[in-house]
Structure 1
Amino acid sequence: MDLTRDQGASELFHAQSHLYRHIFSFISSMFLKCAVQLGISDIIHNHGQPITLPELVLELQINPTKAGFLHRLMRLLVHCGLFATTRVHKNQEDEEEAYDLTPSSRILLKDNITSLSPFVVAMLDPALVTPWQVLGNWFRCDQVTPFEGAHGVGFWDFGDQNPEFNKLFNEAMASDSGMMNLLSETASQFLRVWIH
């Protein structure tokens, strides 16, 4: 069957775009994990003001030949709303683009009570991402969960056998619980004020 006869070129293009958007959607998650691993939020926060790309390259201590790749990383993270751009004056004549924090990147700051950095790193760890790779096979096998299908053991047994992953997961849960507790307290305070 020739699809081009049944569908116009525009419809085919939209269908292809739709599929590609879903195929490559994992890239945003991986860029987020990369930003957490590099500590970009903390670097911008500690800089005390928006940071330019050359300053960020210097702070990250990466090879200057990778500055173009860092620029691409930051563009995607800005596009996703994780960071913002602004213009800064380096001298009276020159203006440069600089990166700033957003509410989302502020909750990635490692020293904050509300830091979700451990949660990001754990949820995007290969141990938790791999089960999604075997989901199709899982429907055809007798394993109870996709996690078991990917790793040969259940989640809790895997944690017992892998202390480093267990620590990572526990830090993630503590991080998430800290955020939920803060939100719960804030909601309770709001209700008390609203009711009285």
Structure 2
Amino acid sequence: MASHKIKNGVKANEIFEGQVQLYKHMFAFLDSLCLKWCVDMNIPNIIHNHAQPMTLHELVSKLQVPLAKLSGVHRLMRYLAHLGFFDIVRITQEDHQEEMEEAYALTYVSKLLVRGTDHCLSPMVDLVLDPTVSTSYQQLGKWIHDQGNQTPFAMALGTDIWDFLSKNPAHMKYFNDATASDSQIINLALRDHGGIFEGLESIVDVAGGTGMVAKYLSETFPHLKCIVFDLPQVVKNLKGTNNLSYIGGDMFHSIPKADAVLLKWILHDWDDDNCIKILKKCKEAVSSRNNKRGKIIIIDIVIDDSKQDEPETTQAKLQLDLVVTAYYNGKERTKQEWKKLFTEVDCEDYKISPLTGHMSLIEIYP
């Protein structure tokens, strides 16, 4: 490749490499749209139910698309395979033993998209890639110059996300299903962290939604009294068990008393001032409880300011930071930013541990 210098002192090969990087990111929206196509077409389930790698012709037949679109399906699957969603393997068909044919197999990523299985994240794809919601990101330029506190979401849809969800039952279902699917992953991670619940007799899952995590805790620790605390309209028709109950209320006003309070992916929705208000209410809820030292358990993202995370993990965290910015005016925080919050509410005794690939477990002792 040519490496001679041009007028501004940049080498030609740097121009060519820069162009590749620029085009890669400029067309990155195709990653999301091809993923959405894959989930909408139910392809992970189709291959899963086939119980073996599936050829292009078998897939096209099952999708019931015109044969004229065979090339289109091939190109979409080739791209998704390049992204790591499928493996392309070679198999022999029973009636053509002498011929090898390409077929698509699920990878550890696309197995997370098989509906009806444990740890399925397809509902998260449905929510995040819904075209109505994703218009928020078209407003970033307007938002950055805005003097007010409106989110890009509100600029795009004329209302904040919570009001929008309350008035649109279909999108509220997307939201609830997505948060429930994420909670399945959290439950899997918590299997290796049972020690954080030792000695506890009660716990409140604040803004716990339908109670996916609380249900897991109540079943795994039968002695533990679990309370799901959320807005009255969220928990209105939900039924508890012997050690699981639902209480409606507002976390900014008060939180039920317990040995521990759980905040799973909650604080990133709020700015620092509101986080401090929430943490103060949590502190009140766990203080002076049966002469025992209560604690606040936070499951959230900690952006690695020491740059020890893998680049892909850091990218996922930074992407989620932009998501909560666009939807809620929230933020993902670094260790120093978390420390600042805890100091503001006089909770300087805390511990941060890794939980999942991009989530951390934070234990705070008021």
Specify if TM > 0.5. yes
The one-character-per-residue Cα deviations of 1:124-155 (angstroms, maximum 9, x if unpaired) are 11233111111011011224211111111100
Identify which of 149, 161, 182 aligns with 1:176: 182
The reply on whether 1:81 has 2:87 as its aligned counterpart is no
Identify which of 57, 65, 69 aligns with 1:66: 69
Q: Matches of 1:161 and 1:21 in 2, distance apart?
A: 38
Q: 1:99 to 1:125 in 2, by over 3 A?
A: same
If asked which structure has higher relative contact order (CA below 8 Å, sep 6+), I would say 1
Higher-Rg structure is 2
Q: Matches of 1:80 and 1:190 in 2, distance apart?
A: 37
Give, in angstroms, the shift of residue 43 of structure 1. 0.6
Match of 1:30 in 2: 33
Q: Matches of 2:162 and 2:132 in 1, distance apart?
A: 12
Higher strand share: 2
Q: Matches of 1:106 and 1:8 in 2, distance apart?
A: 44
Q: How does 1:1-196 map to 2 (within 5 A)?
A: 4-6=6-8, 7-90=10-93, 91-141=96-146, 142-185=148-191, 187-188=192-193
Q: 1:4 to 1:159 in 2, by over 3 A?
A: farther
Q: 1:143 to 1:190 in 2, by over 3 A?
A: closer
Secondary structure at 2:132 match in 1: helix
Give, in angstroms, the shift of residue 190 of structure 1. 11
Q: 1:5 to 1:190 in 2, by over 3 A?
A: farther
Give, in angstroms, the shift of residue 103 of structure 1. 0.9
Give, in angstroms, the shift of residue 50 of structure 1. 0.4
Letter in 2 for 1:157: D
Q: TM-score, normalised by structure 1?
A: 0.90
Letter in 1 for 2:185: M
Q: Matches of 2:142 and 2:21 in 1, distance apart?
A: 24
Letter in 2 for 1:97: E
5+ residue gaps, structure 1, are: 192-196
Give, in angstroms, the shift of residue 4 of structure 1. 4.8
Q: Any conservation in 2 of the 1:4–1:12 contact (CA below 8 Å)?
A: no
Q: Matches of 1:110 and 1:8 in 2, distance apart?
A: 50
Query: Where do 4+ consecutive residues of structure 1 move more than 3 Å?
Result: none
Larger displacement relative to structure 2 (71-80 or 12-21): 12-21
Q: Matches of 2:15 and 2:162 in 1, distance apart?
A: 45
Secondary structure at 2:119 match in 1: coil
The one-character-per-residue Cα deviations of 1:76-105 (angstroms, maximum 9, x if unpaired) are 111111110111001221110000011111
Q: Matches of 2:149 and 2:155 in 1, distance apart?
A: 6
Give, in angstroms, the shift of residue 31 of structure 1. 0.8
Q: Matches of 1:69 and 1:34 in 2, distance apart?
A: 12
Give, in angstroms, the shift of residue 179 of structure 1. 1.8
Give, in angstroms, the shift of residue 109 of structure 1. 0.7
Secondary structure at 2:117 match in 1: coil
Q: Any conservation in 2 of the 1:52–1:96 contact (CA below 8 Å)?
A: yes
Q: 1:96 to 1:163 in 2, by over 3 A?
A: same
Q: Matches of 1:55 and 1:107 in 2, distance apart?
A: 22
Give, in angstroms, the shift of residue 47 of structure 1. 0.7
